[in-house]
Structures are given as structure tokens and as C-alpha cells.
Structure 1
């Protein structure tokens, strides 16, 4: 069956002198089409003045027709404004300006296909900024007019790699929802701080003149007011006149906020060399931390670990306590991100110790919070809840009520996972006293999600649906795709639980569009995993394999060993259902290996339990009992009563299959007593039903 491939025209406008950029623009579109475009059934067609044929009429009017027919528009400017296009209704003074104004008009016309207008400036040299010729003045005036209008966010770049990155990011964005107009008004991140790193004056005896301080403050003032052209001129002029580490680090931070990452890193590299020559150790520690954070955000975890390790070593030698604690915290975060959970916890523990000794209360809270995140990723939910409670105590001490509430809600979420539903409800309910005051608080969404999950576990489906629906409505009001997608997945889980697989799939499809738009691969992996689970319940095993394998691909791309371990286990369970026991055993053993590697004990218990089910199906009761005993031991050590009860039920089945009925019934009685003592109504009913089927007396 032929695929329905949709084509979209992307017009690039620019004056002369930007041939390399136009070439890269076309290359980006071609490469995207050959990889992502095929998968998404989308093709982006590059368009521009090159396609214009000779003919009667004003040449610019022929190009304008191409603009009108385009779906997306990109204009690139550097140090040329371009030639006059002739008389035109916009009074534009160059062809690129006329094309831009026409593209804006098309964007606001609902009958025109134009979805987005993108403006990109190539950075000017300092000499060009300070002594602009007439053409550059027109470019700068155009840029400042955009800044004053505040209805369009433009991009800047200094090298071809950064330009390529800008185009590729837009292609990903466009392909996620190619039929929707993308709003022009975007905000620039601002800050109230007017100068950074002044403490280097005292710590490293660095000097900076009052004039330089005044200029740096002026640069940040321009930035905060959205006047990026003047801000860039100020920072660039400081950089080239008299080198100073403090002004250089401020310039680097400015460029980082403009996403000109290569230039920002180059300035850090220069600062590192100068600081080493001056033996300015505190400056070096700051630079190591900045470079470590840069590489962490670029997902170059090896380089991130390298620089945070250098920071820790030097700050320990010089007894820079705060920087030492910060280095350990960030090292722990990077180690966690690279699936080194155990090392991450050890680094955070060191940071916690230093922060506690020095009363760095805010950093202490952050470290406890990250510890909770890693423990939750390992499915050590009770310990994770304890860490979040520790974090909330520090936030409360600082009167940071939103952070306090957020940590409490995360603690409640983890208590839900261990079956402490009443305690989780109380914590969530108390948080509403804070969060109900802020209608746009994300904590309100977490509260609704927690209530919904608790109701779902208590089989109160009507109330669960109400909470999840409210969460989706509120999430859409926040206009944050990731938050909306998360709320949709909660609603999808509700529909899955009540076996409404059609609506479950619809919720996941909505979430898929949002995660695709932001290229959130972790979210995409979760959605395809959910599709696989729906397929399994519908006995569509071929489709299930495809979707679960797609989920595995995404987890593999982001090196998420936890996701890989879970989905490998899910595929193993699917193979059991299909009667493919050899493949199932191989997948479950892979899952055991991965869970052992990342110390994910809960996942390890699940894998052993599923392997027990496999051996039970094969009639190998001895191996089945060995595997389920391993699972019981792990669940018990974790305090996961629900998991242990489920394992006892399976162990009872194994004993019954091996005709050891007396022992099997004893195990069921033990499971029932455990459920009653723990107040787990769901499990109590499940065990009781099993006992009734065997005609056993229920105590």
C-alpha cells in the first residue's frame, strides 16, 4: 500500500554573501527527508530565489509568489542588506526585507499555508559592530526593530555548525505538527542579576575597573530589556579591548543564553588558560564547573565527569567548601544521567555531608531531592520518599514553600508505589493548602495525579477519572507540552485499567504528538511501550513486538539502562505469552543483567518473578521455585509488601503444580495475613478469591 507522503515548502531568503549557509540549509532538509522524513511520511522542499525562472514582470514579484506558496520561511542576514527590489507596497528597501514582510502577512492570514517565520543573524565582527557601513546599519536597524516589537524571537550564530543546529531544531519542531501555525511571540530568558563572578576579585585577587563593571552591568541591562544587539556590542567590545576573566565569563554566559554554545565554550577555554597562568585557583574551579555543566547539558557525560572531578580536586585542595559541595552534587547528577546510579548516590552523599557541616541549606535540599530521584529510578520507593521528606524539611526552613510542597508531593508519589495510600493522600491533601493559592502551579497537577492514582489503586474508577481529567485540563492551560503529555499518560493508564483500550490508545497518540514535537525520547519510549502493552492485551503480538522494540530503540539512543531493563523484561513476558520460551528466557536474563548493573532491585525482582512464570509454564518447577524465592527475598528487603504478596501467590501456584498442596495452601494463608496486616485491601481480596476457588477456609 502506497504511503501518503506530505510535502511542505521551506523558503530561505538572504542577500548575497551567504552561499555556504544556503547550501547547508538545503543539505539539512535533504538529510532530514532521507531519515526522519521517511519515517514520518513528510518531505520538506527547499525553496528560494534560485528556482525563479526568467519571464515577464518584476523579478521580485515572481519570487514573492514562491513565498506566498511556502509553509515555512527562513531569512538569514549578515553584513549585507541587499539590493532594492523596486516599487512595492511594503516600502521595503531590499528583496529579503520584502520577502520577510510578505511572509509575516501570510502567517497572519489563515487562508495562507505559512506556519512560521524564522529570522537568523550571523554575528558581526567587533569592527563591523563599532564602525558599521550603510548596509550593516540597515541590518542592525532591522534587528533592533524586531527587538522593540517583541513579537518574534530571532537566532544568532557565528559558525556554520551553529547555523546547521538551528535549522535541524526547527525541522524537528515543524515535523511534529506540520499543519499548525507556530506562535511568533516567544520570551527570552531574563535575570535580575547585573554582573556575575565579582567574588573572583576577593578570592583570586583579580582586578576589574569601575568602568568595566559599569559596562558589564549595562550589557546585562540591555539583555534584560530584550535589546540583544546593544548587549552583544557591549560584551564584544569588553572582550577585545583588555582581557579580563570576569568580563570574559560574563560574555560566555551571555552567549550561552543565546545558545551560541561554541563561542561560549571558546571563551571558557581562553579563561581556563589565563586562570592557570595566573594560578587563580578559585577562577579555575568556577571555570571547571561551568565547563562540566556545559558538557552535561550537551550529554557528553565523560567530559562532564572529567571537569567536575577537576573542580572537586582543586576545591578540596584549597578548601573551597561551597564549590566542593557543588562539584560533588553535579558529579552525582552526571553519573546518574550516565546510568552510574551507585556512584551518583555516593557523590551526592559527599555533597550532603559538606552542605550539612557548613549549613548550605538550599544546596542540602537540592542534594536530598536528587538522591530521591536516583532512588526512585532504582525503584527504591520508600528510601526515595524519605529523601524527598528530608529535602522538604530544608525547603521549609528557608520558607521556600513551592519547593517544600513539590518535595512533599514527590514523597507521596513514592509512598503510593509502596502501597501507603492513606499516608500519601494526607501528604498530598496538605500540599493543597499551599498550591491552591497558585492556579498555575505545576504542583497542583502533581496533586491531582496523586489523588487519581490512589483512587485507581482503590478501584474508585469514577473519582480517578475526575482527577485525571482535571489534571489534563489544567496542564493544557499551562501550555507546556511535556506536562500535558504526562497528564495524558495518567489518563491513558486509567483507561488501560478499566480495559478501555480505544481511549487508552487515543490518549497515548496525543502524548506521542507532543513528545515528537520536543523530541523527548524518554517520553517517546514510554508511549511506544504503552502501545506494546495495549497490543499484548489484544493478542496482537506482531504489533506488540514492533512497538516494544521501538521503545527499546529510543531508550538505547539516550543510554537509559533502566528503560532498557524494563522493556527487555516486557518483551520477555510477551515471548512467554507467545510460547517462545527460548527467546523469553534470553530476554529475561538480559533484563536481570541490566537491572543488576544499575542496582535496580525492584526490576530485578520482576525479572526473576517473570522467569519463574516461564519455568512454571515449561513444567520445570524446581527452577521456577528458585527464581520466585529470589524475587521474594528482594521484595522483602525493599519493604515492597505488594510485590511480595504477588510473589507468594505465584509460589503457591508452583507448589500446587508440583502437587504439594499443603505447602501451597500455607503460603496462601501467609499472603492473606500479610495483606491484612498491611491494610492492602486490593491484595486481600485477590488472595481471598484464590482461596475461594480452592474451597479453602478464609480466616
Structure 2
């Protein structure tokens, strides 16, 4: 059977020193065409200047004309700017810059519409090179500084390895193909810097720690170095990330040491370059062990635990925290002891060991209160609020989040403010106050983008996606989730990746339900299987419950009801072990739906009633409406007409209350 493919051209611009990335660009596009694009009626074509035929006239002019025929443009820079192209209309000082200017012109053009522009910077791993940049690198850094402040609508990101580059490229291809299959050609993608069961964005607990910027009081460093690091953090807090990294590099090159390495590592963690940060912390561990510096060895272990946690490696992370805790307790260091306990609480919360998590948080809080450490107190309050949220104690959680936020405001701690705003926003989504939730997430995202904190940016993308699903803007939700996916792949955060896969699967399902079109079950199952593998590897019980529950929904749609019940019962067992009320209610409701379709109406009534009791308790009104609708139908089929009518009245009252 014949079928048509619609082609779209992607141009890659870069200096000649990025041959590996240019070759990988072509292969990655070919692979994506084979596994995804062609079956959706699309084919992407990689356009590279080295494959263009020779011709008369200025070579760069011919390249520019080819760019005008392209639909997408990717610019990649590392440590070279490129050679001067000669006299040109844009006063560009390199061929790559001229190509960018042509693409930028097309982006704003109706005659030559460029759908999207992405700029990627390969990391400079050599601190010496960054601190004393040559003329070529200086031009790259100047362009990146300008890009950070003036090109807010275009996408940009950083990568270290070819694998990371391929991941970023593939996820942009996924965003673009969704745009192509859902929107008319004239619509553009508005990108933001690359730096939820449907969407449970609060599923991964917010990691709040009070010690991103390392104090120098216990380290033998000069005043000059301290001033340099302080200046670097000020630049970072103001969103001047390129200049901040230059200052961190200078401090490290001028006087290598624990203080400089740890601060630089924490900066790299903030902007998502986890592999480089791990390398630096490993150096610190060696330095501190060689010098028998137990205090800073403990701090390095704690930092290493944070990095492993960011990658979703909870088991190794827990080991590092316990080693750090042991040292801090021997040294009678209250601040370090509290910090380690707080981090261990986060690990146990993620594993579903909620009672242990609460013990850890409360022990940490007592230590912080004893030494009057306000940042630590705010962090513990926020993490206790995360626990209360998972337990369905919403009003208590809001109170603790508010206390935490007030402290962060008083301290001017932007990272803490952004994280707490995000957590509060999720509660307002669950309470169906979408406008308030959306504003909170936008406030949080603005701060995270200013800080360049990739983990926080991704979390806000996931939360905004949930709002877009409620608004039935499924294309926008997919775009947000794909952006989140890109960042989590860059960070190597397996747990968050698993959540992204689930959220994408459920967004696809919600879109097809709304449009009453045939559900792409194969694609949804593929995404859920990816999430299942990741959560099994991590041993994340909460993640497994989420995946099993959503598999149950898919099997229900396929009318494989026995499989559906099996999956949901697996989820329910875990949710009960965790004590997570929202998850228990969701599973009872889904079991009720399956039993109703199997015409087992009495059992369905029982399930819906259990779900209703819990959702009333935790004030989850949107789910409550769905439960009442299911209960009404089950009662009607049993000829319990009076009870069915009473339930119908409750539904109308709830809808009126929620919709105003």
C-alpha cells in the first residue's frame, strides 16, 4: 500500500571542530525517521554544508539560500567561533554566526518561515581554558552571554557528551513531530531555555538543602579566593551563567582546593552538568582523605550523595549520606548531622518509607532549631510538607509550605523560594484553582530560569503540563513534557525520566479520549514499559504503583479486564503499604470502573464508595465528581433509583462549587 511522506529540512550550523556532533546529527535523524517519523507521515532531512554541491559565487551565500529553504535550524558551538566569512550583510565575524543571523531573520519572516531555532553549547571541561580564554573562545562566550539575555524565545542548552547531544536532538524531534501532526504549518514553536495518574508533578519530592554555597570558615583559603567565589555566586543568582562559570574557573585555576572545587561542583549541579560535578567531588574526596580532613570528607560525601540522588540512584545516595552522618556524629557537628538526616529523609520518602522519613526530618529539624539555622529549618519544614502532601493532609501541608516560604523570603533564598512555590502550586492544582496554580508555577519558573537550575525548570514544565491537560491543550502539554524529558536525560535523572514517560503516556490517552479518536495504545504501552524498567531498576515503590495503575487503565481501554484488575490491584497493594491516600482512592475508583463494565454493580458500588470516602477526606474534588458519576451509574443499574438521584444531586452541587 502506498503512502505519502511530508519532508522537513533541518540545518546544522557549527564551526569545523565539531565533526563528531555533525556526523551524529545525521545518524540520529536517520534513526528517528526509521523508528518514529515515517509511521507518522513525516520525514526529516539533515542538511549539512559539507554535502552541498559546489557552485559559482560566494560559498556562504549558497549556504544562506539553503538555510532559507529549511524548516528547523540547530546551531552548535564549543570552544571555536570559526573563520571570518568576509564582507556580509549581517556584519557576522564567522560563517556560523552569519548562518544564525539568516535563520533568525527567517524565524520572523512570513516568506521564509523558520519553525524553530535551537542553540546548543558543548561544555568547556578544562577550567584553565575557560579562565584564560583565547580569542576564539572569547567570541563564543560573548555570543552565549548575549543569547542568555536577548533571545528568550529561542531554545538553548548545554551538553558534554555525544550521547547527551543525541538525546537533546531526539527530544526536539519529538516536540517538532507533535507540532507537525497537530498544528498548521504557519504556527511556530515558542521554545524556552533547555537548561504529574495523569500528571503528578509532586511525585518526585523537592530536594531542598540549605548549603548550596559552601562556607569558607573551615577551609584555609585566601580572602581573594573567597571574594572571587562570592562574586561568582552573585553572577549566577543574577542569571549571568557564562560569566559566573568563568569566575569559578579562575578561582579554581589560581588556587586549586576543596573550597573552590565544591563551589564549582555545586554551580555545575545547578545548571545540570552532573557528570562534571561528580568528577570534581571525586577530586575533593581524594584531597580530604589524603589530608585526613574528616570534616570536609563528610561534606564531600554529602555532596556526592546529592549528585547521585539527582541521577535517581537512591541506593548509592543513601550509602553516601550514612557515611557522612557517621563522620558528623563523631565530630559532634550539628549542622552536618542535621543536613545528612534531612537528606536521608528525602531518600526514605522516595522509597515509600514514610514513617522513617518523618523521623529523619524531625530529628534534623531539632538540630537546626538548636543551632538557629534558618535555612535548615525552612528545608525541613518544606520536606515535612512534602510528606504531608503524599499522606493527603493538604491543609497541614499548606501551613508548613507557607512557613518555609516566609523564611526563604526573609533570607532572600531564591532556590528555596522557587522550590516551595512549585510545591504549593501542585496543591492548588489538586484543589482545581488553576489560575492561582499557573501563576505560582510561572513565578517559580522565572526564578529557576534566572538561577539556571535545570531540575527546577523541568519540574515546572511538568506542573504547567498538568494545567494544560486540565485546559485540554494536549499539544502544549506534550511540548512541556518533552522539554522536561530533555532536561532529565541531560541530568541522568532516571526517576524523573520514569515520571516523564508516564505523564506523556497519560497525556496521549487524555488527548485521544477528548477527541474521541482511536487511542494509540502501542505508543502508550511503549512509554509505560520504559517507565516500568526504570522504576524496577531503582526499586521505587511509588513509581511502580504509578506505572501499574496506568497499565490498568490501558488494559481497561483494551477491554482486557482481568489484566486491568491485576495491574490495579498491584498498584493498590503498594499504595496501601505506602499509606498514600490519593493513590488508594485512585485505584479504588479505577477498580469501580472496571467492575461496572463487567456488570458487577454491587462490587463496583463498594469500590466507588471507598474512593469517595478518601477523596472527601483529602478534598480531591475533581476525582470525587468522577467517583460520584460511577457510583450513580452502579446504583441505577441495581435499580436503587432514590440513591442514584441523591448521588446525581451531589454531582451537580460539586460541579457548581468548583465551576462557580
Farther-moved stretch of structure 1 (392-401 vs 556-565): 392-401
Deviation of 1:591 after TM superposition, in Å, equals 3.6
Counterpart for residue 413 of structure 1: none
Q: Aligned equivalents of 2:429 and 2:481: distance in 1?
A: 19
How far apart are 1:526 and its partner, in Å? 3.8
SS of 1:74 mapped into structure 2: strand
Structure with higher RCO (Cα < 8 A, 6+ apart): 2
Matched with 1:151 is 150
Aligned length: 587
CA 1:166 to 1:252, structure 2 compared with 1: closer, same or farther past 3 Å? farther
Go from structure 1 to structure 2 and tell me whether the alpha carbon gap of 1:307 and 1:9 turns closer, same or farther (over 3 Å shift): farther
Q: Does 1:302 align with 2:315?
A: yes
SS of equivalent to 2:10: strand
Map residues 463-502 of structure 1 onto 2, 5 A cutoff.
482-491=462-471
Matched, 1:567 2:515: no
Structure 1 gap segments, 5+ residues each = 411-440, 454-466, 492-505, 687-699
1:275 paired residue number = 288
Q: Using structure 2 for the length normalisation, give the TM-score.
A: 0.69
Task: Determine the C-alpha separation between the residues in 2 that align with 1:574 and 1:587.
Answer: 13
TM-score by length of 1: 0.66
Q: Cα offset for 1:151?
A: 1.9
C-alpha displacement at 1:66, in angstroms? 1.9
1:123 aligns with 2:124: yes
Report the RMSD for the aligned CA atoms in angstroms: 5.4
Distance 1:567 1:184 in 2: 30
d(CA) in 2 for partners of 1:387 and 1:163? 40
Q: 1:268: Cα distance to partner?
A: 1.0
Equivalent pair of 1:13/1:76 in contact (CA under 8 Å): yes
* 1:611 Cα deviation after fit: 6.2
Q: What is the rounded CA distance, in whole Å, between the counterparts of 1:55 and 1:585 in structure 2?
A: 66
1:51 Cα offset (Å)? 1.4
Q: Which runs of 5+ in 2 are unaligned?
A: 196-209, 447-459, 486-499, 536-542, 655-660
- Tell me how far 1:245 sits from its aligned partner: 0.7
Structure 2 residue 406 is the aligned partner of structure 1 residue 389: no
| CA displacement 1:62-107 (0-9 Å, x = unmatched) | 2222222223333444555544434433344443333233333333
1:244 to 248, 257, 272: 257
User: Residue 150 of structure 2: SS of its match in structure 1?
Assistant: coil
Deviates more, 1:598-607 or 1:252-261: 598-607
Does 2:36 correspond to 1:32?
A: no
Contact 2:60/2:85 (<8 A) preserved:
yes
Secondary structure of 1:18's partner?
helix
For 2:168 and 2:246, locate their aligned partners in 1 and report how far apart those are by CA, in whole Å.
22
Is 2:532 the counterpart of 1:556? yes
Task: Pick closer, same or farther for the CA change 1:156–1:468 going to 2, 3 Å.
Answer: closer
Cα shift at 1:207: 0.9
Residue number in structure 1 paired with 2:12:
12
* Counterparts of residues 413-452 of structure 1 (less than 5 Å): none
Whether the 8 Å contact between 2:78 and 2:140 is mirrored in structure 1 is no
Residue equivalent to 2:214: 197
SS of equivalent to 2:16 = coil
1:362-402 deviation digits (Å, cap 9, x = unpaired): 5445434434434544xx42x45334434545666888699
Describe how 1:570-585 pairs up with structure 2 within 5 A: 570=553, 578=559, 582-585=562-565
Secondary structure of the residue aligned to 2:74 is strand
Please name the residue that 2:453 is paired with. none
Which of 638, 650, 659 lines up with 1:682 in the alignment?
A: 650
**1:103 paired to 2:116:** no
Mapped partners of 1:597, 1:314: distance in 2: 33
Distance 2:436 2:240 in 1: 40
1:181 CA displacement: 4.4
Q: Whole-Å Cα distance in 2 between the matches of residues 210 and 197 of structure 1?
A: 14
